[in-house]
Amino acid sequence: MLRPMPDEIIILTGDAEAPFLTRVLEEQNAQLRLTHVRDEAALMALAGRPDDLGGSRLIAYCTSVIVPADILNQLPGPAYNFHPGPPSYPGVYPANFAIYDGAAKFGITVHEMAENVDAGAIVATEWFDVPDDFTSPKLEEKAYILLYQVFCQLAPQLADLSQVLAPIDETWADNKSTMKDFEALSTAAASDEDRERHERAFG
């Protein structure tokens, strides 16, 4: 049975980002129905509508919400996540780990959402060089700005609900970070030679 073509975009993001993302998509397609949700509870409430999510496209943007598989399975096509870190840093707090590792490059990733976090097919990446004196907040800020630029670049395709974003030749690294990893590394005692990078990474 064919599923209906989406006529709505659900944007899973914070209150600060939602107006900007909504405006960008409206400029591309004034006929879109745009729905902002900020957390899993609001998303689950949408899934309980009489029409469920069979006519919707989901875009997650700078959110820590893990979308349940049963939500993804209701959608007629791929859901997309805008991740403020490159494929080399899947998981939580990518900027902190990149600074601690002394990464020479950082960036952003756009990918299809899958049941497992940061595991779906990658559809876009952008990279930039990391200055030697950057702290994790500075790196997050630069990635945040770049992520919005990429969203604007992809907006014509995102707003055309007959289109899907084609996967590119990029794969996720197998070093997915967790909250447990972050807490362990951020609270670990730093040696004298590691103290400066630990401070830049974790404050």
CA distance 121 to 190: 36
Nearest by Cα to 81 from 119, 121, 56, 113: 113
Reply yes or no on whether the pLDDT at 1 is more than 80. no
Would you tell me how many other CB atoms lie within 10 Å of the CB of residue 89? 26
pLDDT bin (cut points 50, 70, 90) of residue 2 is very low
Domain assignment of residue 3, yes or no: no
Domain assignment of residue 26, yes or no: yes
Domain assignment of residue 179, yes or no: no
Q: What is the mean pLDDT of residues 136-165?
A: 97
Reply yes or no on whether the pLDDT at 193 is more than 90. no
Domain assignment of residue 115, yes or no: yes
Are 80 and 158 in contact, with CB atoms under 8 Å apart? yes
Reply yes or no on whether the pLDDT at 3 is more than 80. no
Reply yes or no on whether the pLDDT at 112 is more than 50. yes
DSSP result, 127-181: EEE--TT--HHHHHHHHHHHHHHHHHHHHHHHH-TT--PPP-S----S--B-HHH
Are 110 and 80 in contact, with CB atoms under 8 Å apart? yes
Structure tokens at 138: 């500075």
Domain assignment of residue 43, yes or no: yes
Domain assignment of residue 202, yes or no: no
For residue 52, the model assigns a pLDDT of 75
For residue 48, what are the domain limits? 8-91+103-132+143-170
Burial of residue 127, with CB atoms counted within 10 A of its CB: 0-12 exposed, 13-18 middle, 19 or more buried:
middle
Number of domains observed in the structure of the chain: 1
For residue 5, the model assigns a pLDDT of 52
Give one word for 190, left, alpha or beta, with left for phi > 0 and alpha for psi -120 to 50. Answer: beta
Reply yes or no on whether the pLDDT at 189 is more than 90. no
- For the chain, what is the mean pLDDT? 93
Q: What is the mean pLDDT of residues 150-166?
A: 96
> Residue 27's domain is classified under what CATH number?
3.40.50.170
Q: From the centroid of its chain, how far is CA 102?
A: 23
| The residue type at 143 | A
pTM greater than the 0.75 cutoff: yes
Domain assignment of residue 195, yes or no: no
For residue 50, the model assigns a pLDDT of 63
Domain assignment of residue 192, yes or no: no
What ranges in 57-135 are assigned the alpha helix state H? 69-74, 94-101
Reply yes or no on whether the pLDDT at 80 is more than 70. yes
